[in-house]
Structure 1
Amino acid sequence: MLWALCLAMAMLVLAAELFNTALERLADHLYPEHHPAIGVAKDCAAGAVLLVCAGAGLVGLLTVIDVVANR
Structure 2
Amino acid sequence: MDNSLNLRPVRATNPPAPVEPNSEFTDWIKIVKQSLSGLQFGVVQIVVHGGRIVQIEKTEKLRVDQQIP
| TM superposition score normalised by structure 1 | 0.31
Determine which structure has the larger strand proportion and give its number.
Answer: 2
| TM superposition score normalised by structure 2 | 0.32
Determine which structure has the larger helix proportion and give its number.
Answer: 1
Q: For the pair shown, which has the larger CA radius of gyration, 1 or 2?
A: 2
Q: Which has the higher contact order (CA 8 A, sep 6+)?
A: 1
